[in-house]
Structure 1
């Protein structure tokens, strides 16, 4: 992940930054699904967990060849009027890294019980005993609204981004550009 490309949302009187970032991320996700391994990673330079905001900037990290391959795809069609797209640039040397990962809340006891029934073949009574009725976990992290093309459902993709005083670590990235183990240069 020695290169990056910065994208910045432009002010728009008709659309909020949140709506534009959701649209940009949806297009990026569809493009990343079509990329071969290894995939690229993403980070949010203006991430604010306390304010539950991802900000108005997005960085795409990867090799120069992978970022060039992504740039050749028409994934930004329809977004060009809403973003400032920077060039593919060498990432500066840094001793800090950032890990950007997805966090899923265990929010619905009913859903968890159905999963226990399906995966472990438990009886409904045993599932209730293992997953008692209680309020679900609530997350206070920034999130993106994602539309699943496979299920047709909308869901919130909660993002946890943490900066570490260590050099970046290589690893696998999901089709969302996120990773639970890999980290990216932070600058």
Structure 2
């Protein structure tokens, strides 16, 4: 097991403040919309794509009975300057009644492991059938019949409801978070997640 947990040396922690009148997932939507815009903004303007996220209280139950994101988000970066550029306090200023943002801190020796955080996308049914047809060396028609008969329900990963900035269409950002033994450096996408090129990680504790 690697002893070097990550080159991401600084982080900020955001906690959703429990409110009996407002569901946490409503706040997650508002919070993540601003985070997504911010990460895309600094990537386009400053070329910063090394900011990643982790959910300390994440839990996934494959039966969907208790899957949750929790109420905390950690945002990691290569330096304090990168987090200052992202400016979470400014971007989330409208949510000050609903979230608590800690000051930028060093990861130091807190990390006990690594996380790979990714977006879950169900496979396109046609693509799934094409892959199955190739694997079994059968016709596409037969593969479509098989896949329809053995259709898998979408896995109940925790998700955040968002709207597309381009067409305002709603979509679900389903999130997979897995603990891994090895740290991996790389770039993150504009959600602060694994870009699928490699299993880039963030510190975990």
Normalising to structure 2: TM-score of the pair?
0.75
Decide which of 171, 175, 192 is 1:159's aligned counterpart: 175
Q: Which moved more, 1:40-49 or 1:28-37?
A: 28-37
CA distance in 2, matches of 1:127, 1:152: 35
| Higher helix residue share | 2
Query: Could you say which residue in structure 2 is the equivalent of 1:172?
Result: 187
Query: Could you say which residue in structure 1 is the equivalent of 2:72?
Result: 57
Gap runs ≥5 in structure 2: 1-7, 131-138
CA distance in 2, matches of 1:176, 1:154: 16
Normalising to structure 1: TM-score of the pair?
0.82
Does the aligned pair in 2 maintain the 1:31–1:73 contact within 8 Å?
no
Alignment of 1:137-156 (within 5 A): 137-156=153-172
Gap runs ≥5 in structure 1: 117-125
Query: Could you say which residue in structure 2 is the equivalent of 1:6?
Result: 13
Does the aligned pair in 1 maintain the 2:49–2:189 contact within 8 Å?
no
Query: Could you say which residue in structure 1 is the equivalent of 2:134?
Result: none
1:91-140 CA distance string (max 9 Å, x none): 0323511110111012x63xx47xx9xxxxxxxxx975664561354112
Evaluate the alpha carbon distance shift between residue 177 and residue 72 of structure 1 in structure 2; reply closer, same or farther with a 3 A threshold. Answer: closer
RMSD over aligned Cα atoms: 2.2
